Structure 1
Amino acid sequence: MSQTIRHPEILDIARREGKVTVEGLAEHFGVTLQTIRRDLSDLAHAGRLERVHGGAVLPSGTTNIGYEERRRLNADGKTAIARACAAQIPENCAVFLNIGTSTEAVAVELMHHRNLLVVTNNMNVANILSQNRDCNVIVTGGSLRHSDGGLIGDITTAAIRQFKFDIGVIGCSAIDNDGDILDFDVQEVGVSQAILTRSRRTLLVADHTKFKRTAPARIASLQNVDMFFTDRALHPDLSARCADWGTEVQICAGKGKA
């Protein structure tokens, strides 16, 4: 198999898993470790991947990957996370859902909830829940971000501060090893911080790929959320910190996983 055929598949695996390993790819393609190392070096030189010890990850930086690509990334894991998160949201309550593909997945899982007041700065969430006649949807307003249908800025933050939510559900772009929750857009960070301060209970939804990326703007710490839903076990050090902080971590198994 030529490298021109391997490269797109390597990128597809990296998008699904967040990381690829030299040994895993060599076994997958039936080629030598040296061949895979050359492939990864070529993809890194082209800016498609970043080399790490033993393999490569999706490139990090100051801009996020495309929204449609993020929707496809680890879809099964996000569905499992969303289902577990939605199970923690009772009927007859006020909920905020922010921007992100993971929060969109939560919206889908709320389609049969009754008597919800959902406030959102995510046009996609509003469109999803418009199909639930037992759900009252309020859109915050703000500056429309065309890339993902998100509403951000001072108008959005001011609208959020008019409410006191029973539950606030947020996503993020990355999570650092020390438990810091990160994002790319400073204006979106301000919105997320407002949600955290105006919610009685806060839930974070983020799949394992967020641990393999970085972003420049800090939202908060895992210490500042009540529950964290993800699809793979945390590093033992971070898991211990969450236990000390009182942050409940729920590992959600995707399709075909134990």
Structure 2
Amino acid sequence: MLRRVHGGATVLDGAFEPDQPQRAATQWEEKGRIAEAALPLIRDHSTVLISGGTTTETLAARLGDRRGLTVVTNALPIAQVLSATAAVDVIVLGGVLRHREQSLLGHLAERALAELQIDQIFTSSFGLDAETGLTGAHVDEAQTDRALLAAARDIVVLADESKLGRRGPVRLARLEQVSTLVTDAGAAHPVCAALTRRGSKVVAA
């Protein structure tokens, strides 16, 4: 992402995010542990939203034995993973395809959310910081991402330690809006400590 400056533009520090295949190949052990730790948070016969991301895709792949679960998603990789799981009902939101992320964006997705009652969202964004909260890397995704978060009763963030304390250019949610953080970071990490002080739950992976 670029910021306009006198005489040209400059890249925002830390705003670059690798594409989906590159992210899938990194820190896969940590993502597996985080997904396993998040599983007990999902209740049978509930409706959950799973947003796009390699960690959330790892979680989706572990939902095969859930009873009466409905998963809402705007991410085609999530829908593809769950297509092999007959026990889970899958609702794919409409919208304009963002090819890089294989996600659906725009007012069609946002209008569909208004028709749904969602218990939890499981999301993994660009960064989670004690001061700026949950942030994203892409301005063109921000409105849909905020709508996804607002549609759920509880926000569950799946984030390895590298994402904690990192700030993206787009604010998506305040820290106090996060109900639960599932992470491989220790309880003493400033973000974990800040969430605990606010009464949010931190689950160790």
Normalising TM by the smaller chain, what interval?
0.7 to 0.9
**Unpaired runs of 5+ in structure 2?**
1-11
Residue 211 of structure 1: CA displacement? Answer: 2.7
User: What is the TM-score normalised by the length of structure 2?
Assistant: 0.86
CA distance in 2, matches of 1:104, 1:236: 25
**Counterpart in the other structure of 1:132:** 85
* 2:28 aligned to which of 69, 75, 79: 75
Which 4+ residue blocks in structure 1 deviate beyond 6 angstroms? none
Residue 216 of structure 1: CA displacement? Answer: 0.5
Q: Report which of the two has the higher share of helix.
A: 1
SS in 2 for 1:240: helix
**Counterpart in the other structure of 1:95:** 48
User: What is the TM-score normalised by the length of structure 1?
Assistant: 0.70
Residue 60 of structure 1: CA displacement? Answer: 4.5
2:187 and 2:193 in contact (8 A); partners too = no
* 1:206 aligned to which of 141, 156, 159: 159
Q: Which of the two has higher C-alpha Rg?
A: 1
* Number of equivalent positions: 194
CA distance in 1, matches of 2:33, 2:96: 31
CA distance in 2, matches of 1:106, 1:191: 21
1:60 and 1:213 in contact (8 A); partners too = no
* Partner AA of 1:69 in structure 2: Q
* 2:131 aligned to which of 157, 174, 178: 178
1:179 and 1:238 in contact (8 A); partners too = no
Quick one: percent identity of the two aligned structures? 28
SS in 1 for 2:176: helix
What do residues 119-148 of structure 1 show as CA deviations (whole Å, max 9, x unaligned)? 100100001011111111111011111112
**Counterpart in the other structure of 2:142:** 189
* 1:108 aligned to which of 54, 61, 68: 61
Q: Report which of the two has the higher share of strand.
A: 2
CA distance in 1, matches of 2:191, 2:100: 32
**Unpaired runs of 5+ in structure 1?**
1-58, 253-258
**Counterpart in the other structure of 2:119:** 166
Structure with more contact order per residue of length (Cα contacts < 8 Å, sep ≥ 6): 2
**Counterpart in the other structure of 1:29:** none
**Counterpart in the other structure of 1:144:** 97
